[in-house]
């Protein structure tokens, strides 16, 4: 038994963070459960989670850019690394890896070994077809749209479906050039 005594500030913050993370995970689970009850069709729940994520993503990008001090990425490869290493760390507390680039550097996979959204989750057989973490694909799509990148984000692997990791494919469909807001003359 460790000696009882005052805990350091760091230990207290760590346990507050852990409780916050658990609360977040449980709240997300409650949202998915409610959607399953309300919408009945798993496909509809997938769509709704993606839409919720998109709505979060288009707002969250401001917080991300303000807090991270990340400057404009030179290309989509750098953007993907920023999402995996900085974005996931900031909002989910984990990092991911980026793999499976296509030849022209417009499509890759973001692979998560550790996914706090699914702690405590077991899906019943009636939920076959559910993409439980679909909120994440929506968040990425929404956030990137706000920095002028139209993307398609698809789950390729999902541990809740028996795969060995979580893998999101992110495909850049279109990069809208940003207009310089001032005239040079
Ligand atoms: C740029 O403007 O080129 C930088 C773009 C960085 C985009 C980063 C988007 C972060 C999205 C966070 C996703 C978190 C998912 C939990």
Total-model pTM: 0.88
**What is the rounded average pLDDT of the residues 162-177?**
94
**Strand-pair category, 97-99 with 166-175:** unpaired
Q: For residue 165, how far is its CA from the centre of ligand 1 (angstroms)?
A: 21
Asked if 25 and 91 touch (Cβ cutoff 8 Å), the reply is no
1 CA to middle of ligand 1, Å?
Answer: 44
Question: Ligand 1: residues within 6 Å at CB?
Answer: 61, 64, 70, 72-73, 79, 82-83, 87-88, 91-92, 136, 139-140, 143, 147
Q: What is the ipTM of this complex?
A: 0.94
Confidence of residue 79 (pLDDT cuts 50, 70, 90): very high
What is the domain partition of the chain in residue ranges? 10-175
Mutate to test the pocket of ligand 1, among 53, 63, 85, 140 (most ligand atoms within 8 A of CB): 140
Nearest-CA residue for ligand 1 atom 15 is 88
- Ligand 1 site-directed mutation target among 25, 80, 133, 144, most atoms within 8 Å of CB: 144
Phi, psi for residue 101 in degrees, rounded to 5: -70, 140
Please list the alpha-helical segments (H only) found in 69-126: 76-82, 88-92
Is the Cβ–Cβ distance between 158 and 131 less than 8 Å? yes
Chain centroid offset of residue 85 CA: 11
Give pLDDT, residue 40.
Answer: 83
Q: Which ligand 1 atom is at minimum distance from the Cα of 91?
A: 16
Task: Note whether 45 and 32 are within 8 A (CB).
Answer: yes
The C-alpha atoms of residue 125 and residue 1 are separated, in whole angstroms, by 42
Residue-wise pLDDT tens digits, 96-135: 999 999 999 999 999 998 999 999 899 998 898 999 999 9
Ligand 1 pocket test: which of 55, 71, 83 has the largest number of ligand atoms within 8 Å of its C-beta?
Answer: 83
pLDDT at 23: 86
Do residues 148 and 175 make contact, with C-beta atoms less than 8 angstroms apart?
Answer: yes
Considering the four listed CATH numbers 1.10.3720.10, 3.40.50.300, 3.50.50.60, 3.30.1380.20, the one that applies to the domain covering 10-175 is 3.30.1380.20
Query: Helix, strand, coil shares of the chain as percentages rounded to 5?
Result: 50, 15, 30
pLDDT over 70 for what percent of the chain?
Answer: 92
């Amino acid at each position: 038994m460790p000696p009882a005594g005052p805990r350091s500030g760091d230990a207290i913050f760590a346990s507050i963070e852990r409780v916050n993370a658990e609360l977040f995970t449980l709240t997300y689970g409650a949202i998915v459960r409610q959607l399953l009850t309300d919408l009945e069709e798993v496909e509809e729940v997938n769509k709704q989670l993606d839409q919720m994520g998109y709505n979060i993503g288009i707002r969250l990008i401001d917080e991300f850019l303000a807090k991270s001090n990340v400057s404009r990425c030179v290309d989509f490869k750098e953007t993907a690394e920023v999402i995996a290493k900085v974005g996931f760390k900031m909002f989910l507390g984990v990092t991911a890896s980026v793999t499976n680039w296509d030849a022209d550097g417009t499509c890759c996979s973001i692979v998560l070994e550790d996914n706090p959204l699914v702690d405590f989750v077991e899906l019943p057989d009636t939920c076959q077809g559910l993409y439980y973490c679909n909120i994440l694909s929506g968040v990425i799509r929404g956030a990137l749209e706000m920095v002028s990148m139209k993307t398609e984000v698809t789950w390729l692997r999902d541990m809740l479906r028996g795969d060995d990791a979580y893998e999101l494919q992110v495909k850049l469909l279109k990069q809208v050039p940003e207009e310089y807001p001032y005239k040079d003359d």
